[in-house]
């Protein structure tokens, strides 16, 4: 499984919404490669350069950076700078281009000016003029407000590329994540299986609302079985969790009530 930032460090489950959304419900999540998410193009960039810029900006974005432990640790080492040697360890970026100069030249040409390149071209960092949100909790809430949970995709054949193409028809997205679980039947190696459900975070609330307002949404000719706001999904999961706890508590209480008195015990009636 690749983490949201595709970091070469030990990878951990991450969620496209507040952490409590998927910690136990989705053991693994597969994010959408930023280079494949459709955006308005930069006329100064070639197709290759545009893919590079999108991928790098995704790594350092408000959305991904707070969740990418590896990258957060790297930017602490040198006033936000990260060496190109380190960046080329990110599989998705390296698959687009494994040449540091090609990457840094693309970032220099990008009109967004989101990234800075060092004078010698050996390292990059997020522009100091574009700091992270001051209130991470508020930002997470804002992200949740435009995130939708969808269910009903064929679990055994659906690919990330297909989901990206599917959701792109309904607006611009910041992230798409496939919910997965650990297949414990395969002991020789960790294997994560798609659950048939996914999270999609739209670029803004309006696009998310337009998607939610649709009576029916079809994937490969079959309607999705469910699409709800992620906040409602979380609330439902919490309610089910609390019910399981209460049911377990009730069963344990009944079990205690049925325990026989120890031999020799005297019951005094008053």
Shared domain for 120 and 153, answered yes or no, is no
At 252 the pLDDT is 78
Alpha-carbon torsion (109, 113, 118, 124), positive or negative: negative
At 182 the pLDDT is 87
At 72 the pLDDT is 94
Look at residue 105 and tell me if it is in a domain: yes
The CATH number of residue 218's host domain is: 3.30.70.330
Shared domain for 87 and 155, answered yes or no, is no
Shared domain for 46 and 120, answered yes or no, is yes
Shared domain for 39 and 103, answered yes or no, is yes
**pLDDT tens digit at each of 270 positions of the chain:** 333 345 543 333 334 444 333 333 333 344 555 434 444 456 588 999 999 998 999 899 988 888 899 999 999 999 999 999 999 999 989 999 999 999 999 999 999 999 999 999 999 999 999 998 888 888 889 999 999 999 999 999 999 889 999 999 999 998 899 999 988 887 777 788 999 999 999 999 999 999 999 999 999 999 999 999 999 999 999 999 998 888 888 787 777 777 676 666 666 666
- Helices 47-59, 100-109: inter-axial angle, 10-degree rounding: 90
At 86 the pLDDT is 97
Shared domain for 163 and 106, answered yes or no, is no
Shared domain for 44 and 89, answered yes or no, is yes
Look at residue 242 and tell me if it is in a domain: no
The CATH number of residue 45's host domain is: 1.10.10.10
**Containing domain of residue 108, as a range?**
34-126
* Structural domains of the chain, count: 2
Look at residue 241 and tell me if it is in a domain: no
At 267 the pLDDT is 60
Shared domain for 154 and 111, answered yes or no, is no
At 136 the pLDDT is 81
In this structure, what token pair is assigned to residue 100? 């540091």
Look at residue 79 and tell me if it is in a domain: yes
């Amino acid at each position: 499984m690749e983490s949201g930032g595709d970091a070469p460090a030990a990878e951990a489950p991450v969620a496209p919404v507040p952490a409590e959304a998927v910690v136990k419900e989705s053991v693994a999540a597969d994010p959408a490669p930023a280079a494949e998410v459709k955006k308005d193009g930069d006329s100064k960039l070639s197709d290759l350069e545009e893919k590079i810029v999108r991928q790098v900006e995704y790594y350092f974005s408000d959305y991904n950076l707070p969740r990418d432990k590896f990258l957060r640790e790297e930017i602490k080492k040198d006033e936000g700078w990260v060496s190109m040697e380190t960046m080329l360890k990110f599989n998705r970026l390296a698959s687009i281009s494994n040449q540091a100069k090609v990457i840094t030249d693309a970032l220099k040409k990008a009109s967004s000016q989101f990234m800075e390149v060092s004078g010698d071209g050996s390292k990059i960092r997020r522009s100091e003029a574009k700091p992270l949100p001051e209130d991470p909790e508020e930002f997470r809430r804002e992200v949740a407000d435009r995130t939708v949970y969808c269910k009903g995709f064929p679990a055994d054949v659906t690919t990330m590329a297909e989901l990206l193409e599917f959701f792109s028809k309904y607006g611009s997205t910041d992230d798409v994540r496939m919910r997965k679980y650990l297949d414990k039947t395969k002991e020789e190696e960790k294997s994560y299986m798609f659950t048939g459900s996914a999270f999609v975070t739209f670029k803004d609330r309006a696009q998310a609302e337009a998607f939610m307002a649709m009576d029916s949404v079809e994937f490969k000719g079959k309607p999705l079985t469910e699409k709800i706001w992620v906040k409602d999904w979380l609330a439902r999961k919490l309610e089910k969790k609390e019910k399981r706890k209460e049911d377990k508590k009730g069963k344990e209480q009944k079990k205690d009530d049925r325990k026989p008195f120890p031999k020799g015990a005297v019951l005094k009636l008053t």
